[in-house]
Amino acid sequence: MSDAVLALTNVRVQFGGGKVHAVDTVSLDVGAGEVLALVGESGCGKTTLIRSVIGLEPLSHGSIEVEGVKVGRGARGLRALRRKVQMIFQDPSGALNPRHSIYEAVAEGLRIHKVKGHEPTLVADALSAAGLRPPERFLQRYPHELSGGQRQRVLIAAAMALRPRLLLADEPVASLDASIRGEILALMRSYVDRDGVSIVAVTHDLGLAWNIADRVAVMYLGRIVEVGPADDVLRTPLHPYTKALLSVVPEIEGMEQQILTGETPDPSRIPSGCRFHPRCPVVASGEAERLGFVDRCRGVDLELEPEVGSHRVACHAVQIST
Amino acid sequence: MSLLELRDLHVTYRGERAAVPAVRGVNLSIEAGDTVGLAGESGCGKSTIAGAVLRLLPKETEVRGQILLDGEDVYEMKPGRLRAVRWTGAAIVFQGALHSLNPVKRIGWQIEEAVLLHSKMSPRAARERAQDLLDRVGIPGDRVDKYPHQMSGGQRQRVLIALALACDPQLLIADEPTTALDVMVQAQVLALLEELQREKGLALLFITHDLSVLTHTCKRLAVMYAGRIVEEGPSELVFTDPQHPYSRALAAAFPTIGDMSSRMHPEGLAGDPPDPADLPSGCPFHVRCAVAIPECATLDVALRDAGPGRRAACVHVGAAHV
């Protein structure tokens, strides 16, 4: 394998006895010290995908490797994996045990993974690195005595205390107040710049991607439809779905709003052909028909094509125009 | 005469240990057909204002000052009059659509009930009205017999909007109506609110922590911090050229994609939103403020003129204009 920290190859995750295709053939690499933002609407499979990386969802097909070691299902393998891969969640209040002190919350992982060193020092250093200073002020407190932002810092401290190679973050700032958001994102980025950890951040917030991500992957109905450097994907999106997502971000001036109709699609009923075609503006506007490739949109399923410039895109229109 | 006028509104909750001043002297008026955005973080008092307008706060809550709805003091109303004013004078759309709907009643019936209680319509006419309203918010008429759990989050939020419109209110109060929704569904709901507002000449009081959403939807903006308005003015100006350092931080919290100054540079505020039960002295923002001067710790600044139609409560504001 290459020097990728995380390598996904043709990953599929199915639920309900194979009826629901939550993740449908995804291949993706994340390099050392790289921040990847995985964006998409709810139900697109982004959370399922990162849960499978940490062994919480069994794969129906494909493989996942972390630093060249295949993610298996055995207890010992999973423990070794979780030393290298840690995860933080959207709701920091639900992720902390209300009856454990902050010290306990951070020390628990150190004990499970038998991390060498003086435990109180390791805990204090982890809290301090996560911006909870002086750490002595926090050690004996309980989650309910902290603010939402502080709780998220505790979880980041507990995850990073194990010195993982990869941090998975599921909507890390979605439940936090607006003014706190930037500080937490800056904190996450600081571990990347200082320790070279890699991060996969799952989010529907494209601003988060702009703030901290090196690369962006856009997911739709279980599949990645566009991936590339954040600067390029966010400023010159190629896939019609990425374009639509960016057009509805209120912060972007001068872009005509492309509001897709209909609900977030259902992964138990994936449309034929390009799975985005029923909502695709290129099809709806008649452009695909005029240019003569609408039959492909409706009938031919496709995966990410080789690079167009710096992006890879799964779209018949982009393929034909290049 | 304004449609809604808050005069020196104070709201104090009775806490277990001490009184909690949630709103501390707010003046705000909304004309018929006007759109006003109220921005701020958790605990700033913005939702308390929504509740106070229709007297939805716990009984023991102390409310001082005046709330005039169409010139009539809401807190002087007799119970019957209050019941009539709710729904017909002003209606509220809350954030959690799942919790605001009755889970064991069909959605059509929930709208019919409101119509029947507040008008002299026949049951058959009320049912037609419910169908029309659902149709209006983009939910097919055949869904009237569905239960809330059979609908997606976006659809439930639309049902709540339909419900709020059931009795043709003059004022719609929307408290974080899109916070729990996906970006695309949020765009759909915002577009719907704007359309209804224009079409029916509805006045809108839109409450959220997301300044960019407000700028998009509202003509005027008021930013709240620690129970007070700290800045108000035309939305576009408050967003692009904020005068109060807190508004500046809130505006910067959601980056503009494409703006290189925020690329790899998330901006946030140090510290946490203040605890309403334990506010800092002087200007309550001074502990998090980057431009605070020594006197901010003791001087509580009231709103000052900050240009045409604009006011801000910061010690630096007057100085800049002299």
Which residue in chain A is spatially nearest to B216 when comparing CA positions?
Answer: A250
Q: Which two tokens stand for residue A252?
A: 């972007």
Give the largest CA-CA distance in chain B.
68
Q: What does DSSP say about strands B35-39 and B203-208: parallel, antiparallel, or unpaired?
A: parallel
Residue A2 above 60 pLDDT?
Answer: no
CB < 8 Å to B158, chain A: none
**Complex ipTM:** 0.85
Task: Report chain A's mean pLDDT, rounded to a whole number.
Answer: 92
* A207 close contact with B: CB closer than 8 A: yes
Q: Tell me the whole-structure pTM to 2 decimals.
A: 0.89
* Antiparallel, parallel or unpaired: β A20-30 and A61-66: unpaired
Task: List CB contacts (< 8 A) between B252 and chain A.
Answer: 182
Instruction: Determine whether the interchain pair B191/A250 forms a contact, defined as Cβ–Cβ distance below 8 Å.
Output: no
Burial class (CB in 10 A: 0-12, 13-18, 19+), B319: exposed
Cα of B201 to nearest chain A Cα, Å: 23
In tens, the pLDDT along A90-124 reads 888 889 999 999 999 999 999 999 999 999 999 99
| DSSP state for residue B25 in the 8-state scheme | E
Average pLDDT over residues A153-168: 97
Alpha-carbon distance of A230 to A208, in angstroms, equals 11
Q: Are A68 and A233 in contact (CB under 8 A)?
A: no
Chain B residues within an 8 Å CB radius of A207: 254-255, 257
Test A182 with B268 for CB contact under 8 angstroms: yes
CB contact under 8 A, A186 and B184: no
User: Any chain B CB within 8 A of the CB of A42?
Assistant: yes
Q: A117 CA to chain B: closest CA distance, Å?
A: 31
Q: Residue A220's CB: how many other CB atoms inside 10 A? A: 25
Report residue B240 CA to chain centroid gap: 21
Q: Which residues pair with A166 in a beta bridge?
A: A85, A198
Query: What end-to-end distance do the CA atoms of chain A give, in Å?
Result: 31
Closest Cα partner for B284 from B224, B210, B211?
Answer: B224
Interface of A with B in 45-104 (CB under 8 A): none
pLDDT, one tens digit per residue, over A226-283 is: 999 999 999 999 999 999 999 988 766 667 888 887 767 788 889 999 999 999 999 9
**How do strand A166-170 and strand A85-88 relate by DSSP bridges?**
parallel
- SS3 per residue for A140-193: CCCHHHCCHHHHHHHHHHHHHCCCCCEEEEECCCCCCCHHHHHHHHHHHHHHHH
Say yes or no for a CB contact (<8 Å) between A250 and B215: yes
Residue B261 burial by Cβ neighbours in a 10 Å radius (0-12, 13-18, 19+): exposed
The DSSP bridge partners found for residue B12 are B21, B62
- DSSP for A186-246 reads HHHHHHHHHH--EEEEEES-HHHHHHH-SEEEEEETTEEEEEEEHHHHHHS--SHHHHHHH
- The answer to whether residue A261 neighbours chain B at the CB level (below 8 Å) is yes
Contacts of B66 (CB under 8 A, 6+ apart): B5, B6, B7, B8, B9, B73, B75
In whole angstroms, give the CA distance from residue A132 to residue A290.
59
- Chain B interface, mutation test: which of A179, A192, A256, most B Cβ atoms within 10 Å? A179
Among the listed residues B62, B79, B69, the one whose alpha carbon sits nearest the alpha carbon of residue B205? B69
**What confidence score (pLDDT) does residue B322 get?**
40
Q: Is the separation of the CB atoms in A165 and A197 below 8 Å?
A: yes
- The shortest CB-CB distance from B249 to any of A179, A252, A260 is to A179
- pLDDT truncated to tens, each residue of chain B (322 aa)? 899 999 999 999 998 888 999 999 999 999 999 999 999 988 899 999 999 999 999 999 999 999 999 999 999 999 999 998 998 999 999 876 667 899 999 999 999 999 998 888 999 999 999 998 998 888 887 788 999 988 888 888 889 999 999 999 999 999 988 877 788 888 888 888 898 899 989 999 999 988 888 888 899 999 999 999 999 999 999 999 999 999 999 988 888 898 899 999 998 888 888 888 889 999 999 999 999 999 999 999 999 999 999 999 999 997 644 4
> Bigger pLDDT: B209 or A290?
A290
Q: Do A175 and A92 touch, CB atoms closer than 8 A?
A: yes
Which of B41, B212, B213 lies closest to A177 in CB terms? B41
Q: Identify the closest residue of chain A to B39 by CA–CA distance.
A: A178
The rounded distance, in Å, linking the Cα atoms of B180 and B198 is 25
Q: What is the pLDDT of residue A253?
A: 62
Q: A181 and B253 in contact by Cβ < 8 A?
A: yes
A180: nearest CB among B154, B183, B268: B268
